[in-house]
Structure 1
Amino acid sequence: MHTRPLGPDGPPIGPLALGCAGMSDHTARGDEADAIATIHTALAADVTLLDTADFYGMGHNEDLIRRALRDGAREKALLSLKFGGLRGPDGAFLGIEGRPAHVKNALAHSLRRLGTDHVDIYRPCRLSPDIPIEDTIGAISEMVRAGYVRHIGLSEVGPETIRRAHAVHPVCDVQIEYSLFSRGPETNGVLDTCRELGIGVTAYGVLAHGMLTGTYRQPAGGDPRARWLPRFRPGNLASNLTLVDRLRPLADARGISVAQLAIAWVIAQSRAPSTVVAVVGTRRPHRLAQALTAVDVPLTDADLRAIDEAVPAGAVAGSRYAAPLMALLDSERGSSQPSGQGTLPHHEDI
């Protein structure tokens, strides 16, 4: 698989990454044997970047990855690890923590659970509302100098925060939701800033939390995710599934699925020197194999125009997340903590 550097002096990476959240959290835990097989399938196909977080399953995801990377597989994997999402014993989301002491403490526990002496990319999961980004990135940079971290990333932050962080230490990549249904990075300055600075983009939610698979059907009684994902609320969902239907003839003409077309569209957004990587979340080997096909789907300028005409930017009904979660997103200019309990969205797409 063709690789390109992820950010200034970043690691070489292919166009796909594997999101591991769904192997441990938010939905029923998948069969661990399938999850480990999915990781092995990814590495065998040169999908080397594994995206995880210390709060996915409250440590379970890191432990699962450790078991998957036995017998020499760690040398091939690139571990991208988020921290800062605080959880209660009942799994409730309690807030964001970015203090320097927490950075180092969280990393120490993660290294133990992962069974490794370093992580390849370390990033705060969101911008802490009361800690300057310079303090958080400064603490991670100390861990870089000490050898515990190779590169620094960011997640769901806006242009000003990207520039401030990058001034402290080079940023490898910005992780942000980006798909045919979430075009915000094109208009909020995130993509332009990353391209200007040569910072990579790791795009999650590339299948719109399952809606862009082309196989999604509204369950009887409604989708329980509608509570925090407004696009799944009944009125919005009907409108959004109409948009998915517009993509079917474009996918059929190429002999691929809607999901593969949506992934190929994200990959096609790379603009030198900024690499865009599609983070595909799955816990099933055959689903990852389907996603891999998208890597070999070339989209011409005419193809991209046809896709834009089918799903214009701004046509999707409903905001990305419910208001309390939107308030956590510096990328959306949010700055306050949620007033109630919630959960952080993840990359379980297919």
Structure 2
Amino acid sequence: MKDQQAINRRDFLAMTTLAGAGLMAAPLYSFGSISSSEKTNKVENKMKTRKLGTLEVSEIGLGCMNMTGNYNPPADHQQSIATIRKAFESGVTFFDTAEVYGPYLDETLVGEALQPFRDKVKIATKFGFAIDGTVALDSRPAHIKKVLEESLKRLRTDHIDLYYQHRVDPNVPIEEVAGTIKELIHQGKVLHFGLSEASAKTIRRAHAVQPVSAVQSEYSLWTRNVELNGVLDTCEELGIGFVPWSPIGAGFLTGKYDTNTKYDEKTDFRAGFPRFSKEFMPLNMPIIEWLKGYAAKKNATPAQIALAWLLAKSPNIVPIPGTRYQSHLLENLGAQEIEMSKEDVQEIETCLSKFPVYGDRMGEAHMSSIDYTF
């Protein structure tokens, strides 16, 4: 691991917080009298569920990271509370946060928002960073037990439904981490074990000690590393659920950003992501231009197509798009109404294969803590 170095709070957040990554059959939206805008805003209170291992959750979750910063300044507190509760009213039962988001502020927010119906939702949070003014990782057993108690207090709960190791710590054998979580599960403080941005080898080693319910990695139409490095195949083989974070490409796949978009270096870590740079953003625009055209033909939005594609890839995939706005939330949840055939999936992938993706998915500091090389 790289030498620890003191950095200020903003730089620490920019380096360590993380954005919140078989084919199925059926046709896309049927073309009727309902307008695209009506479909965007029409969300039923019922949502299908999926399994992450043995953990049952809504087929689309809510990533709460951006509510306390990272892609923009923190959102209004009451606005965020309202958005989280609107998600629950709309059928979402799976909410994702982490101690490092804020840091700590996001867990506090999620705990307050979900307290009235805590027994009806599943909360995922994460451990693994030494939040001490350095960029270090820390998954020592004693540290895990300490920060778990702190997360429980912030989340106003007596158990964590899904507890992820946020990043694999090269200084602590994964078997020790899995053993610690196994102990916490026996105590009833944790119900399910998860890994984030872990390699296939690490997943297998951890799973042999304590069954892994879910693996979280970045995965979207323009970030498909996990299809090539064995992570998705390993999850499928072992019956582990897969949770794509940044499923709409840190906002890129919404079609709302272009070469004129400015990213504030102080509040938005996309300013340091190569794909969003002045050098590579113009080269990546053909991707979204094609997606916008395809979505228009299907009477949907680009974000809805991106999410529907993920849902169609495997019944074990549960994306967690993040947003701070209710309008975007309802747009994202509209993806559940899109039924996509294997032919539709193949068409999307064939067409997008013509457009290379330029630039790495995250900055160098973020990529340095990833457990695999591509």
Aligned with residue 245 of structure 1, among 254, 270, 289: 289
Cα drift, residue 6 of structure 1: 1.1
**Cα distance 1:88–1:100, how it changes in 2: closer, same or farther (>3 A)?**
closer
Matched to 1:162, the amino acid is I
Q: Which residue of 2 aligns with 1:341?
A: none
Q: State the TM-score, normalized to the length of structure 1.
A: 0.89
Q: Which residue of 2 aligns with 1:56?
A: 101
**Cα distance 1:60–1:303, how it changes in 2: closer, same or farther (>3 A)?**
same
Cα drift, residue 95 of structure 1: 1.7
| Structure-1 separation of matches of 2:355 and 2:135 | 31
Matched to 1:241, the amino acid is M
Contact 2:115 2:156 survives alignment (8 Å): no
Matched to 1:5, the amino acid is K
Gapped runs of 5+ residues in structure 1? 334-350
Q: Which residue of 2 aligns with 1:40?
A: 85
Matched to 1:202, the amino acid is V
Cα drift, residue 238 of structure 1: 0.7
Q: State the TM-score, normalized to the length of structure 2.
A: 0.83
Aligned with residue 216 of structure 1, among 234, 244, 257: 257
Q: Higher RCO, 1 or 2 (CA under 8 Å, sep at least 6)? A: 2
> Are residues 1:121 and 2:162 paired?
yes
Q: Which residue of 2 aligns with 1:270?
A: 314
Matched to 1:23, the amino acid is M
Matched to 2:218, the amino acid is E
Q: Which residue of 1 aligns with 2:74?
A: 29
Q: Which residue of 1 aligns with 2:280?
A: 236
Cα drift, residue 221 of structure 1: 5.9
Contact 2:258 2:281 survives alignment (8 Å): no
> Are residues 1:4 and 2:45 paired?
no
> Percent of pairs identical after alignment?
38
Cα drift, residue 88 of structure 1: 4.2
Cα drift, residue 220 of structure 1: 5.8
Gapped runs of 5+ residues in structure 2? 1-46
Matched to 2:352, the amino acid is V
Matched to 1:262, the amino acid is A
| Structure-1 separation of matches of 2:343 and 2:335 | 18
> Are residues 1:108 and 2:149 paired?
yes
> Are residues 1:305 and 2:341 paired?
no
Matched to 1:21, the amino acid is M
**Cα distance 1:313–1:55, how it changes in 2: closer, same or farther (>3 A)?**
farther
Q: Which residue of 1 aligns with 2:219?
A: 178
Matched to 2:288, the amino acid is V
Q: What is the DSSP-based 3-state SS (H/G/I as helix, E as strand, rest coil) of the residue aligned with 2:350?
A: helix
> Are residues 1:75 and 2:116 paired?
no
Cα drift, residue 149 of structure 1: 0.4
Aligned with residue 138 of structure 1, among 169, 179, 183: 179
**Cα distance 1:118–1:222, how it changes in 2: closer, same or farther (>3 A)?**
closer
- Number of aligned residue pairs: give it: 324
**More deviation, 208-217/197-206:** 208-217
Matched to 2:127, the amino acid is F
**Cα distance 1:313–1:167, how it changes in 2: closer, same or farther (>3 A)?**
farther
1:185-208 CA deviation, whole Å, 9 max, x = no partner? Answer: 100000000000010000011111
Q: Which residue of 1 aligns with 2:39?
A: none
**Cα distance 1:220–1:269, how it changes in 2: closer, same or farther (>3 A)?**
closer
Larger proportion of strand: 1
Aligned with residue 256 of structure 1, among 300, 321, 332: 300
1:89-122 CA deviation, whole Å, 9 max, x = no partner? Answer: 5xxx522111000110000111111111001000
Q: Which residue of 2 aligns with 1:188?
A: 229
| Structure-2 separation of matches of 1:149 and 1:178 | 26
